[in-house]
Amino acid sequence: MKSERLSFQDEINRNKMKSTLLIACVLVFFIAFGYVISLALDPGYFFSIMILAIILSVTYTIISYYNADKIALASVRAKPADRIKHAALFNAVENMSIASGLPMPRVFIMESEQINAFASGRDPRHAVICVTTGALQKLNKQELEGVVAHEMGHVANFDIRFMTLTAIMVGLVAIAAEMFLRSLWFGGEKRDNGNAGAVLFVIAIFFAILAPIATQLIQFAISRKREFGADASAVKFTRYSPGLRSALIKIKHDSFSQQDVKRYPKAVAPLFISDPFRKKLSALTSTHPPIEDRIRKLEKM
């Protein structure tokens, strides 16, 4: 019992550390990128545009940050769950809210054949948990509790806030890179500061093309780490890893029509417990770790 407790606690701590490291990498990258660009271009010109871009993107993200839950729920057409009709779901969420010591989140249901669920809301006080009708039909009590515990794990670890912050940074880098590349079209004559200037210019273009790709990859890496973290938290809350593990095994063998996939907008896909599209892409560009890896990790906990 003792060593078991330590292992999931360790898993959560390690995840927090890695995530902070990744965020730091994005920041350093962003600063270096801005510095090189400002050297290559006329600094005064650059900063005025940067400030404008930052103000615009920050207001945009603040609005979406405060409405993250509403946007996510509306985009999958989720409806509030009924306390009597969905008593099993309500019990699972209440149990996990007690086990985690977090306030009771609002509970929603979305129409879909596949087993899936997501959590949203900027902090535990504004959290929502949404489960598919497929999950309610196909999962038993322990499995449903495991899935809800995983979502409560996202809430407890402040994943929604964290993912929003990374999205802001990825967005900023993308905007800065875009603006720089566009400025080349009409800022041609200004480049008359010799050889060193030309070299810097090439570096800056190189950066501008690579930066958005690199930050996107970092965002995916953070997203994958967060899934493992939520799994570890789920075990902490339920003290019963076979529940979530067997739910993940069911998700792995889950079958649903291609029609069903259309219910999921691309933008909300990273929120879900498993990728609704099940794309077979390389490990680098997926938002979720392979389900087999998660099952294997749960076996060890």
Partner 1 sequence: MVAFLIWALIIVLILVVLAFMGYYNRFITLENAVDNALSQIDVQLKKRADLVPNLISTVKGYAKHEKDIMKDVTESRKALLAAKTLPARVKAGADLQTALKSIFALAENYPQLKANENFLQLQQELSAIEDKIAYSRQYYNDSIMSYNITVERVPGAWFAGLYGKKHKEQLQITAEEKAVPKVSF
Residues that bind partner 1 (CB under 8 A): 87, 91, 94-96, 98-101, 239
Do the Cβ atoms of 267 and 75 come closer than 8 Å?
yes
Task: Report the chain's C-alpha Rg in angstroms.
Answer: 22
Q: Whole-angstrom Cα distance, residue 216 to residue 184? A: 23
Instruction: Give me the least distance between CB of 107 and partner 1, in Å please.
Output: 15
CB of 81 to partner 1, least distance (A): 16
To partner 1, the closest distance from the beta carbon of 126 in angstroms equals: 19
- Residue 148, Cβ neighbours under 10 Å: how many? 33
Query: Annotated catalytic residue: which of 151, 178, 292, 299?
Result: 151
Smallest gap from residue 255 Cβ to partner 1 (A): 31
Asked if 131 and 254 count as a contact pair (C-beta separation under 8 A), the reply is no
Q: Which is nearer to partner 1, 100 or 116 (CB)?
A: 100
**How big is the chain, counted in residues?**
301
Question: Any residues with CB less than 8 A from the CB of 261 and at least 6 apart, and which?
Answer: 276, 277
Q: Are 294 and 279 in contact (CB under 8 A)?
A: no
For residue 245, how many other CB atoms are within 10 A of its CB? 23
Q: Which of 114, 283, 12 is nearest to 291 (CA)?
A: 283
Question: Which is it for strands 128-132 and 106-110: parallel, antiparallel or unpaired?
Answer: parallel
Q: Is 4 among the catalytic positions?
A: no
Q: Shortest distance, CB of residue 237 to partner 1, whole angstroms?
A: 8
**Under 8 Å between Cβ of 231 and 291:** no
What Cα–Cα distance (Å) separates residue 265 from each residue in 17, 39, 70, 108? 31, 40, 14, 17
The one-character DSSP state at 102 is: P
List, by residue number, the catalytic residues: 151
